[in-house]
Every structure is written in C-alpha cells, then in structure tokens.
C-alpha cells in the first residue's frame, strides 16, 4: 500500500519534511515545523472562507455534493423525510441513533412540557418596534433566554446540557411564533401542550380568538421542510454556533449567534430572493428574456447553484414534491407555474449544465411557505426552527471533542510596521 504521507521540500531552505496524511487531510499544525530560521513563526495555510479546511471531525451529517447525497447519521434524507417526525430527527441528530418508542415518547413529552417562556420575555419582545424584522426579534429573544437560565453556563455537565437542549427545542418555537404575531399586530397565542410539536407551532402562529382549524397536509409539509433543513454540516450558521460555543458560553448565546448568521441574505435569505425574482419575471412568456439576462451576467437565477452540491440538491427534489402536495390544498399559484417552467428551461440550457447549476433547497421552499400563509420576512425564522436541532447536535459534539479549543484563526498582517505614536498637535 502507498505510504500515507506527504513529502514537502521547502525551496527557501532546501529542507524536506514528511507529514502524515489521515482521512485525506494533513494537519495544519504539522506545517508549523517548516521554518526558515529559529525565530521564524513557521508555515501557515491561508484559507479565507474555509474553502479547503476541515475545522472538526463530525459524525452527524454526510454530504456528497457531486453525487447529491445527504445523510443524517447515515440515514438517507429521502427516507428520513418520508418516514420520520421532526422530533425524531432532532433526537437522531443529537443522540446519534433513532429513538425507540419509549425514548421518543420521553423526548416528545419533555419538549412539549417546556414550551412556556417567562412572562418577562414577553415584555422584552413587546419592546420591539411594530415593524421589527422577526429574525432580529428571534435572535434577541433567544439570546435573552440565557439570562433566565443562569444554570445553562454549566456546560461541562451532560445532564445540564440535555436540559438546555429540551428548553431550546421547546421555547424557540414559542418565541418564533410571538415574532410572527408581532409582525401581524396580533396578541400572542400561548403554547398548547396537548398538541404535537408542529401542531402547537402552527396554532401559535395562526390561531385567532383561540381558534384554528388544523390542515394536516400543510402541517406535514411544514414538518418535512423543517426536517430537510435540520442539519447541513459545517455551514455558516453552524460554524458560528461552534465558534461562539467554543468560548464556553451558554448554549442560548451560542444558538443566537447561529440565528444571526442565518439572518444574512447569502445564507438563510435566498428563498425570499426567489420569490422576488418570480415576481419580477411576472409571466411565463418573459422567462426566455430573463434567462438571457442571467446568461449575460446581469443577475443570477436565484434558487440555483450551491457551494457544495454540484448536482441536484437532494432536498430540492423532495421539496418539489411537497410543493405539489401543498398547492393541491391551497390552489395552484401562478408563481409555481413560472418556477416549474423556469427550472425546465434552465436544466436544458448549456450555461447552467456546464456550470453544474441545479435547483437548490430554496428554489421551492419560499413558494410553499407563502402558500401556507407565512410572509417573506418570516421564511428565515422557519429555516432557523428547522436548523435548531442541527445547531444543538453540533454544539454538543464540539463540547465533547477533546481536540477542540477556543476557535481562533490566524491572520496575515498587512498593516503598517511598528511606528511611534504621533501627538494630536503634530498630526497633519
């Protein structure tokens, strides 16, 4: 068998080094021994945006972007989305195995019974302006929860971590629903612990005067969307949760950092952009002109392309099916017809084929959320609800990983060399 090492010759010194290769990776710290002199700091790697740097070992989610494969703890996303409930997925991601019936009941009961938030959280949320963006409210609300649970700082204790996981899984939907009510100027609807996880959330968002007629097809569609968003390995918001959590802060604060990262338009906001694009196109006959504009570099086909998937995003396939189920209930939306035609045209076009641009998870999700009655500003909140179990699982894994320390990248300093302070009177 070939040797699992990398031989490097430093042409500055003529010295040769042999570095071990494990899991297709060399350790960046092994490069530090490569120096030009005893004073030299040692060789570093430069990798803005972590394009080619593994920052952790993880056993949670596997992605093969070329083949379009996504697996949670080894289970294909297609099978999970068809058969599992969201709480089952949350358990799987966090505990590593699917729960048996007793474990699932215990987990679901615990999550169902901690849905209430302290009334001071309500006062805090009421302090936001009438037009506050729900993501700003959510990240503020979840961050504020840490002040109500000072015991959450005890992150070395696995039982304490479990308790915070339950609290976050139960209370984030409540805060998220309150953000929705704020958006509509409606009084807050309190949690109902007799309902299941999704049913309770939907009730808290849509109930008027204590009444809401549940539509089980739409609820299952929402559940599938949350499942499809539950984890996606080391994406921007998950990396934020890990980096902030690596300082030893409580999980409420670490998760609110994840929410902040997701708030950004390059991460959680693309489905909103798809709807704006479909509005801009307006009708099917204007699709060819729009595609030509995109090909000339005047704008992008939103909901297409992915940093990791260079073939069909497996979640997009599943979401397309969900879209049909939802529109069968709510009636066909002209925007869905534009989206389907747009997808068909783009998938046959050499520009998109040669660049391996396929629909991603966001191409249809916004249309579905809109059909369910959620406004565009709220889509990212729904994404956050879905991603929460993934953030928690990755945080838990990070805490237990002995190789991890506080996250602290290096830099290449490009500023001025040392110089004496100039008093104010002598500055030009």
Give me the DSSP letters along 40-105: S-------GGGSS------SSEEEETTTTEEEETTEEHHHHHHH--HHHHHHHHHHSS---HHHHH
Q: Which stretch binds ligand ACO (CB under 6 A): 69-77, 89-97, 118-126, 352-360?
A: 352-360
**Which is catalytic among the residues 114, 229, 232, 306?**
306
Q: Residue 303, interface with ligand ACO (CB under 6 A)?
A: yes
Pair type for strands 15-20 and 61-64: unpaired
* Catalytic residue chosen out of the listed positions 267, 325, 349, 401: 267
* 125-133 contact pairs (CB < 8 A, 24+): 125/175, 125/178, 125/179, 125/182, 128/182, 130/182, 130/185, 132/182, 133/377
Is position 267 annotated as part of the catalytic site? yes
Q: Please compute Rg for the chain using Cα positions.
A: 24
Q: Binding to ligand ACO by residue 304, rule CB under 6 A?
A: yes
Taking the complex as a whole, the smallest distance from the CB of residue 183 to ligand ACO amounts, in Å, to: 22
* Catalytic (active site) residue 83: no
Apex 302 CA angle, 297 and 305, nearest 5: 85
Say whether residue 270 binds ligand ACO (CB under 6 A).
Answer: yes
- Closest chain position to ligand ACO (CB): 305
CB of 355 to ligand ACO, least distance (A): 4
The yes or no reply on residue 294 touching ligand ACO (CB under 6 A) is: yes
Decide: is 258 part of the binding site for ligand ACO (CB under 6 A): no
* Shortest distance in whole angstroms from residue 358 CB to ligand ACO: 10
Smallest gap, in angstroms, from Cβ of residue 297 to ligand ACO? Answer: 7
Name the residue nearer to ligand ACO (CB basis): 145 or 228. 228
317 binds ligand ACO per the rule CB under 6 A? no
To the nearest 10°, the Cα dihedral for 233, 239, 244, 245?
20
Indicate which single residue of 35, 220, 267, 284 sits in contact with ligand ACO (rule: CB under 6 A). 267
**CA-CA-CA-CA torsion sign (225, 269, 344, 77):** negative
Residue 16, both tokens? 């040769």
Sole binder of ligand ACO in the list 153, 220, 284, 300 (CB under 6 A): 300
Distance CA 287, CA 345 (A): 9
Report d(CA 22, CA 378) in Å as an integer.
43
Q: Contact, 99 vs 88, CB < 8 A?
A: yes
161 and 285 Cβ atoms separated by less than 8 Å: no
The correct pick among 362, 366, 368, 392 for binding ligand ACO (CB under 6 A) is 362
Name the one range near ligand ACO by CB under 6 A: 41-49, 238-246, 251-259, 299-307: 299-307
- Closer of 175 and 342 to ligand ACO (Cβ): 342
- Binding-site member from 355, 373, 400, 410 for ligand ACO (CB under 6 A): 355
Q: Is the distance from CB of 238 to CB of 58 less than 8 angstroms? A: no
Site string for ligand ACO, 63-102 (x = CB under 6 A): ----------------------------------------
**Is residue 225 at the binding interface for ligand ACO, with CB under 6 A as the rule?**
no
Contacts of 30 (CB under 8 A, 6+ apart): 19, 20
Nearer Cβ to ligand ACO, position 336 or 361? 361
Give me the residues that bind ligand ACO (CB under 6 A), please. Answer: 267, 270, 294, 300-307, 355, 357, 360-362
């Amino acid at each position: 068998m070939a040797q699992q090492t990398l031989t490097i010759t430093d042409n500055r010194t003529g010295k040769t080094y042999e570095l071990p290769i494990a899991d297709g990776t060399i350790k960046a710290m092994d490069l530090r021994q490569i120096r030009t002199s005893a004073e030299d700091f040692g060789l570093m790697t430069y990798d803005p945006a972590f394009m080619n740097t593994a920052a952790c070992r993880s056993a949670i989610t596997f992605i093969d972007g070329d083949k379009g494969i996504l697996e949670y703890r080894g289970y294909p996303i297609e099978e999970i989305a068809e058969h599992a409930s969201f709480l089952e997925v949350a358990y799987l991601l966090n505990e590593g195995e699917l729960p048996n019936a007793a474990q699932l009941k215990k987990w679901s009961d615990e999550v169902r019974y901690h849905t209430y938030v302290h009334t001071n959280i309500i006062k805090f949320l009421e302090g936001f302006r009438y037009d506050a963006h729900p993501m700003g409210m959510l990240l503020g609300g979840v961050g504020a929860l840490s002040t109500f649970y000072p015991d959450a700082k005890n992150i070395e204790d696995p039982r304490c971590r479990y308790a915070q996981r339950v609290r976050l899984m139960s209370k984030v939907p409540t805060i998220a629903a309150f953000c929705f009510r704020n958006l509509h100027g409606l009084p807050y609807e309190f949690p109902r612990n007799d309902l299941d996880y999704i049913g309770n959330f939907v009730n808290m968002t849509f109930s008027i005067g204590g009444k809401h007629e549940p539509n089980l097809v739409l609820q299952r569609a929402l559940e599938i969307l949350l499942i499809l968003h539950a984890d996606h390995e080391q994406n921007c918001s998950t990396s934020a949760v890990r980096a902030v959590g690596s300082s030893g802060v409580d999980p409420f604060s670490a998760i609110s950092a994840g929410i902040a990262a997701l708030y950004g338009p390059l991460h959680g906001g693309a489905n909103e952009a798809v709807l704006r694009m479909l509005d801009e196109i307006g009708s099917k006959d204007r699709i060819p002109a729009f595609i030509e504009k995109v090909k000339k570099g005047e704008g992008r086909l939103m909901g297409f392309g992915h940093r990791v998937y260079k073939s069909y995003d497996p979640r997009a396939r599943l979401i397309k099916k969900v879209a049909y189920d939802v529109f069968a209930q709510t009636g066909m939306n002209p925007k869905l017809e534009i989206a389907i035609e747009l997808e068909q045209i783009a998938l046959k076009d050499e520009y998109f084929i040669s660049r391996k641009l396929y629909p991603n998870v966001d191409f249809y999700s916004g249309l579905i959320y809109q059909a369910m009655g959620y406004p565009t500003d709220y889509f990212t909140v729904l994404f956050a609800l879905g991603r929460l179990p993934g953030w928690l699982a990755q945080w838990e894994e990070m805490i237990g990983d002995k190789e991890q320390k506080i996250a602290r990248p290096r830099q290449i300093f490009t500023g001025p060399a040392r110089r004496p302070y100039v008093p104010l009177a002598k500055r030009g």
